[in-house]
Every structure is written in structure tokens, then in C-alpha cells.
């Protein structure tokens, strides 16, 4: 696969959601639309959402704001596993919320251990043949979970968590994607906030409710904090923020097609967009690699950054 320049894409997970964000008030929605518009105004053209984000509100906000610019943007959407005969119906609901007649990239969102997902993949191919979607992706799948689906259709993109603290995909998933000509989209570029806050604040964030996440687990958290501290010093020495260093590092990985980033306010958006201007020297890249590579083997192979087990929780499409 030929590498090309990576681009930043706006992840719309928090827009309209109340899990780690403010929620659904009119003031919140106005803020979300403003962020979407500002990202577009500053050259962002890839926008990532899902049917379950905010119970469909993320799709609605994205559609409302960018409908007049539809031909200039790329919309990525997702569905959880569902019966094959309902896949098209779900896509049509998404199209209505987005206010468009096609979706550029549509993912099957999370594997479902024990389920044969090939009928779902075949349903996505039928939707592609009808022009409802243009490309098909898989989100949070391992090589073993992707392989059977290659028998049922063409997988164009693979999406997974990847950042300076979470580099496990380099071991097996990235080589698999390159071998099978599958393009890559990464999320979690700031490691769920760990790469966006001073290291001295991380213990407080852990106690605030993020302990179930793998990076916050007791046996690994001290090493994570030390790694963040070292990266923090390195970023400061080069006159950039830790978040900008993290995003610029992801953008420097030429095998990544799109690097997703998420924001809650204008200042976070501006800081993130500045990462596109950061040029990392070979010496700086080598030092960053040395600091961050120590965590690669700290997690089980093919684990996802959330430690999520699909099927263990109620998951509902809308």
C-alpha cells in the first residue's frame, strides 16, 4: 500500500452525548455546531460519527451544520452488529438524520465474538451496490476477526485506538492492514485525555471515574504517568503542548490515513489544529519513540483501549 500524508478528522463522539460531555441542552448543541463549523472552516474534511453517539443526535448535528457543504466533506458513520435484514434500514435512518443520500465510509462498529458477521458484511456490500454507502470499514477488530469478513466483501478501512501510550496495534494489526491493502483511521490520539493534561493532574482524573479504562489500571498507571511526564518535558523543550506533540506524532505515521481528534471547546480545537504545523525532526521522533515504546508490551495482544467486551453490555441501535 502506498503511504500518503495523514490528515486530521473530527471525531463527533461527544456531540449530543451525556456520558463524558455536558449533554443535550440547546446551549450544548449550539457549541457542538459551532465546533463542527470551525473545524470545517480550518480545513477539516473528515467527520466521524455513529448511530449510537448521542442516540442519533451526533448524526443530526453533523448533518444540520454541514449539509450545504456535502460535496466537500467525507462522512464516516458506524453501526453495531445487527441482523443482516435490518442493516439497510439502519443506514436509511442515518441518511435521514445526516440529511444526505450517501455515506462515504460506513463501519461495522465492534466485533461480536461467537457471531458469524459475514451476513452483516454481505448486507453492507448490498448497501454499497445501491449507492447508500461508498466504502466499508471495521472498527475495533483484530486480524483474526477481520479475516473471515474478507470472504464476504471488501474491507476498505480499519479503525482502532492508537497513540503514544497505546501502540499495541503496531505488532500485528498494522502489518495485517498493510498486507491486505486496508487503509487506517485512528482514534484516541490523546489517550482519553492522558496526553492533554499535566502529569500532576492524572491521579485526580483517575479517581474522577476513569479507572475502568485500561490505561488507568492500577498495575500500569504509574508507568503511564511517568511516560506522560517525560513526554511533557520533551514537548515543553520544543515549545509545543503535550497534546500537539501527541497529534503531530500520529500525523507523522504515514501509514495512517486519518487521525481523529475530539474537542469540547474552541480552545481545544485551535490547539489541536495547530498540530498540523508541527514538524518533528528525526531526532525528536527517535526520542519520542524511545520514551513511548516501553508501554507497548504492557497490555494483552489485540486488546482494545477500553477493555470493552462487546455483548456484555446492552447496546442499542437507533
Which residue bears the cell 485525555? 193
pLDDT in tens, the chain (318 residues): 667 679 999 999 988 765 545 455 667 889 999 999 999 999 999 999 999 998 899 999 999 999 999 999 999 999 999 999 999 999 999 999 999 999 999 999 999 988 999 999 999 999 999 999 999 999 999 999 999 999 999 999 999 999 999 999 999 999 999 999 999 999 999 998 899 988 988 888 776 655 567 888 888 899 999 999 999 999 999 999 999 999 999 999 999 999 999 998 999 999 999 999 999 999 999 999 999 998 988 887 767 888 777 755 444 444
Q: Which H or E run contains 184?
A: strand 183-187
Beta bridge partners of 259: 8, 186
| CB-based contact 134:105 (threshold 8 Å) | yes
Q: Give the per-residue pLDDT at 317.
A: 44
Q: Give the per-residue pLDDT at 28.
A: 83
Q: Give the per-residue pLDDT at 14.
A: 84
C-alpha dist (Å) from residue 53 to 12, 75, 112, 212, 298 = 8, 14, 19, 20, 30
Q: Give the per-residue pLDDT at 316.
A: 43
A 10 A CB-CB count for 264 gives 16
Amino acid at each position: 500500500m502506498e503511504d500518503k500524508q495523514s490528515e486530521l478528522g473530527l471525531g463527533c463522539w461527544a456531540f449530543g452525548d451525556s456520558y463524558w460531555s455536558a449533554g443535550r441542552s440547546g446551549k450544548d448543541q449550539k457549541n457542538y455546531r459551532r465546533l463542527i463549523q470551525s473545524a470545517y472552516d480550518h480545513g477539516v474534511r473528515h467527520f466521524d460519527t455513529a448511530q449510537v453517539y448521542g442516540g442519533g443526535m451526533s448524526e443530526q448535528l453533523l448533518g444540520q451544520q454541514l449539509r450545504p457543504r456535502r460535496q466537500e466533506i467525507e462522512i464516516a458513520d458506524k453501526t453495531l452488529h445487527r441482523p443482516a435484514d435490518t442493516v439497510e434500514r439502519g443506514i436509511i435512518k442515518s441518511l435521514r438524520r445526516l440529511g444526505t443520500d450517501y455515506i462515504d465510509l460506513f463501519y461495522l462498529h465492534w466485533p461480536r465474538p461467537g457471531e458469524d458477521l459475514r451476513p452483516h458484511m454481505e448486507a453492507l456490500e448490498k448497501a454499497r451496490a445501491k449507492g447508500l454507502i461508498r466504502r466499508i470499514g471495521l472498527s475495533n477488530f483484530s486480524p483474526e476477526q477481520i479475516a473471515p469478513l474478507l470472504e464476504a466483501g471488501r474491507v476498505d478501512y480499519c479503525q482502532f485506538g492508537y497513540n503514544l501510550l497505546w501502540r499495541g496495534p503496531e505488532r500485528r494489526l498494522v502489518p495485517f492492514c498493510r498486507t491486505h491493502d486496508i487503509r487506517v483511521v485512528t482514534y484516541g490520539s490523546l489517550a482519553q485525555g492522558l496526553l492533554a493534561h499535566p502529569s500532576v493532574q492524572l491521579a485526580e482524573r483517575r479517581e474522577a471515574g476513569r479507572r475502568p479504562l485500561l490505561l488507568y489500571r492500577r498495575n500500569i498507571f504509574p508507568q503511564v504517568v511517568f511516560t506522560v511526564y517525560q513526554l511533557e518535558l520533551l514537548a515543553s523543550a520544543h515549545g509545543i503542548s503535550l497534546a500537539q506533540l501527541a497529534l503531530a506524532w500520529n500525523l507523522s505515521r504515514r501509514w495512517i490515513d486519518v487521525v481523529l481528534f475530539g474537542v469540547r471547546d474552541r480552545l481545544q480545537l485551535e490547539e489541536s489544529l495547530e498540530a498540523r504545523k508541527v514538524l518533528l525532526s528525526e531526532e525528536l521522533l527517535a526520542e519520542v519513540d524511545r520514551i513511548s515504546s516501553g508501554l507497548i508490551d504492557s497490555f494483552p495482544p489485540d486488546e482494545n483501549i477500553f477493555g470493552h467486551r462487546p455483548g456484555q453490555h446492552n447496546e442499542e441501535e437507533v
